[in-house]
């Protein structure tokens, strides 16, 4: 539910008809445009559906879709337009009816009556379906991909093949705000391809900002399939001004969703998002521990009240949550202080809490060290950072009971915050490059630690001096 604003009449307008309340009646709210248009036929099954009102919506919005389908809602046009992004392709040759049961504008006005429009989707192409049956989905080649994603995306892991992938990261600088120096984060993405140039996500999203002078807060993570980004920001909801709140952006950077429950925005950090954009996990401080892992789910046009996933943990702090590829479990760090972090895992309903990797997993003769920054690999193994041997290095715990951790790349030390790309390659922040000026810089290597290359260095445009070491993201491009 969007923020409710109660308005009062401060002065009487000449000639206005005044009711018993002493205020002129606000103009009725109405729908001014829809895409697709009412009665449209042959609509693409991957289409987004938008509804534009004659005034900004800042109160409730109640929608009904028949047949029902799951969707994410993205607001734009100064809160006058809501775009429904279906979580899956619509059905072929089907008439969909969308009814706006009620909505409330910033001045408190409502629709005089429900508004309904309908459209019919395209007829399936027989030849395309036959070709797509080899892909196991009965769809033509290219269908089934997320709307707005860059061309060339490949889902899943392909044995022996490099999948177009991306890494998300954050840089931090000091800026003056109201007479104080504060950290200002810039959010980035870059294709995991040697020579690729990082793209400034913060700048790309600026036209969508509600609070243009607000600050973003990293880390930024991307869903496994690349269709959504999750981060915290002051820029995309009026209630987030001065205090960053959770937000997710579409993969093509055309829309931002402020994560709002019926009570308002969520002031959390370190969020991750599922492929369909309907589930977000994050770190918050209003649970049973000092910090906890929470989850919220999209339910229609609002998000559910957060649920604590780390209730059964014996530790005081919890951080860096990341989803498994199927979205069924979450890995995260937990500990009582920074020197004794372990890796934990929990199911999405809070059950099955376990300590997945601890100092007890260290090989014989290793030095004591925290286990840090876990990430799932497509093969079910867990990649992580620890200093068990020669400084911070990247390790892997293979899947299966009784498996022993193995060092991924012994030649790299001071190697931090690993994430795993959809094809199994590993991205991390390496401080050991001779041209890195002792900063953290983005490195990509094969799953076995070979064929490495750098994506950021002071000498590589845009000449990034240091990448913030509080988490990367990885997904399809």
What's the pLDDT score for residue 342? 95
Structure tokens at 342: 């372990």
Structure tokens at 168: 């998300």
Please report, for residues 146, 293, 304, 356, 447, the alpha-carbon distance to residue 353 in angstroms, rounded to integers and kept in the order given. 32, 12, 22, 9, 28
Residues in the chain: 477
- Nearest residue to 1 (alpha-carbon basis) of 264, 291, 334, 332: 264
Return d(Cα 182, Cα 215) in angstroms, integer: 10
According to DSSP, the β-strands at 302-303 and 292-299 are antiparallel
DSSP string, 146-177: PTTPPTT---S--TT-PPPEEEEEEEEEEEEE
- Sequence-distant (6+) residues with CB within 8 A of 101 are 62, 63, 64, 114
Domains of the chain: residue spans and CATH: 31-121 (2.60.40.1220), 165-476 (2.120.10.30)
Please return the burial class of 174, using the count of CB atoms within 10 Å of its CB with bins 0-12, 13-18 and 19+. exposed
Please return the burial class of 82, using the count of CB atoms within 10 Å of its CB with bins 0-12, 13-18 and 19+. buried
- Nearest residue to 395 (alpha-carbon basis) of 59, 20, 405, 137: 405
- Cis peptide upstream of residue 462 (ω within 30 degrees of 0): yes
Q: What is the number of alpha carbons within 13 Å of residue 133 lying toward its C-beta?
A: 5
- Cis peptide upstream of residue 219 (ω within 30 degrees of 0): yes
Q: What is the pLDDT along the chain (477 residues), one digit of tens a residue?
A: 333 222 222 222 222 232 333 445 567 899 999 999 999 999 989 888 999 999 988 766 778 888 888 777 777 777 888 888 887 788 899 999 999 988 888 788 888 889 999 999 999 864 344 344 444 444 434 444 433 333 333 333 333 456 789 999 999 987 766 676 778 899 999 999 999 999 999 999 999 998 888 999 999 999 999 999 999 999 999 999 999 999 999 999 989 989 999 999 999 999 999 999 999 999 999 999 999 999 999 988 889 999 999 999 999 999 999 999 999 999 999 998 766 799 999 999 999 999 999 988 998 888 888 899 999 999 999 999 999 988 899 999 998 878 899 999 888 999 999 999 999 999 999 999 999 999 999 999 999 999 999 999 999 999 999 999 989 999 998
Give this prediction's pTM.
0.69
Q: How far apart are the first and last CA of the chain?
A: 32
Q: Which residues of 51-64 are buried (b: 16+ CB within 10 A; e: fewer)?
A: bebebbbbbbbebe
Beta bridge partners, 425, equal none
What's the pLDDT score for residue 300? 82
Over 312-368, what HEC string results? CCCCCEEEEEEECCCCCEEEEEEECCHHHCEEEEEECCCCCCEEEECHHHCCCCCCC
What's the pLDDT score for residue 383? 97
Helix (H) or strand (E) holding 393, with range, is strand 393-397
- Sequence-distant (6+) residues with CB within 8 A of 208 are 76, 236, 255, 256
């Amino acid at each position: 539910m969007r923020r409710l604003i109660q308005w009062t009449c401060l002065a009487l307008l000449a000639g206005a008809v005044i009711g018993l309340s002493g205020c002129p009646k606000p103009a009725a709210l109405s729908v001014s445009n829809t895409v697709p248009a009412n009665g449209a036929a042959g609509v693409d099954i991957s289409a987004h559906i938008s509804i534009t009102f004659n005034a900004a919506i800042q109160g409730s919005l109640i929608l009904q879709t028949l047949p029902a389908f799951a969707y994410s809602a993205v607001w734009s046009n100064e809160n006058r337009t809501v775009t429904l992004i279906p979580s899956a392709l619509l059905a072929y040759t089907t008439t969909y009816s969308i009814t706006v049961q009620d909505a409330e504008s910033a001045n408190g006005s409502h629709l005089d009556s429900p508004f309904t429009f309908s459209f019919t989707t395209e007829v399936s192409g027989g030849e395309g379906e036959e070709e797509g049956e080899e892909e196991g989905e009965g769809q033509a080649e290219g269908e089934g991909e997320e709307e707005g994603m860059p061309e060339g995306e490949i889902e899943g892991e392909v044995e022996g093949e490099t999948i177009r992938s991306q890494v998300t990261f954050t840089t931090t600088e000091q800026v003056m705000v109201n007479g104080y120096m504060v950290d200002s984060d810039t959010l980035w993405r870059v294709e995991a391809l040697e020579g690729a140039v990082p793209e400034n996500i913060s700048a790309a999203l600026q036209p969508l900002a509600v609070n243009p002078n607000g600050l973003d807060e990293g880390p930024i993570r991307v869903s496994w399939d690349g269709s959504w980004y999750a981060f915290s920001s002051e820029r995309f909801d009026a209630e987030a001004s001065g205090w960053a709140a959770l937000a997710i952006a579409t993969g093509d950077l055309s829309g931002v969703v402020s994560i709002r429950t019926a009570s308002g925005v969520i002031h959390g950090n370190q969020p991750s998002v599922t492929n369909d954009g309907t589930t977000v996990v994050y770190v918050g401080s209003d649970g049973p521990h000092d910090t906890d892992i929470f989850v919220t789910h999209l339910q229609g046009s609002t998000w559910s009240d957060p649920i604590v996933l780390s209730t059964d943990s014996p530790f005081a702090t919890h951080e860096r949550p990341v989803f498994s590829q199927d979205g069924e479990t979450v890995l995260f760090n937990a500990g009582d202080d920074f020197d004794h972090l372990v890796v934990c895992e929990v199911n999405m309903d809070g059950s099955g809490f376990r300590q997945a990797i601890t100092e007890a997993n260290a090989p014989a003769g290793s030095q004591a060290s925290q286990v840090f920054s876990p990430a799932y690999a497509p093969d079910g193994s867990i990649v992580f950072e620890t200093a068990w041997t020669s400084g911070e290095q990247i390790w892997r715990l293979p899947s299966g009971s009784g498996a022993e951790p193995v060092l991924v790349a012994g030649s790299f030390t001071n190697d931090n915050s690993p994430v795993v790309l959809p094809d199994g390659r590993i991205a991390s922040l390496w401080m050991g490059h001779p041209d890195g000026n002792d900063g953290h810089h983005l490195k990509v290597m094969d799953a076995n630690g070979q064929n490495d290359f750098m994506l950021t260095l002071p000498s590589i445009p845009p000449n990034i001096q240091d990448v913030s070491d509080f988490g990367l993201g990885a997904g399809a491009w």
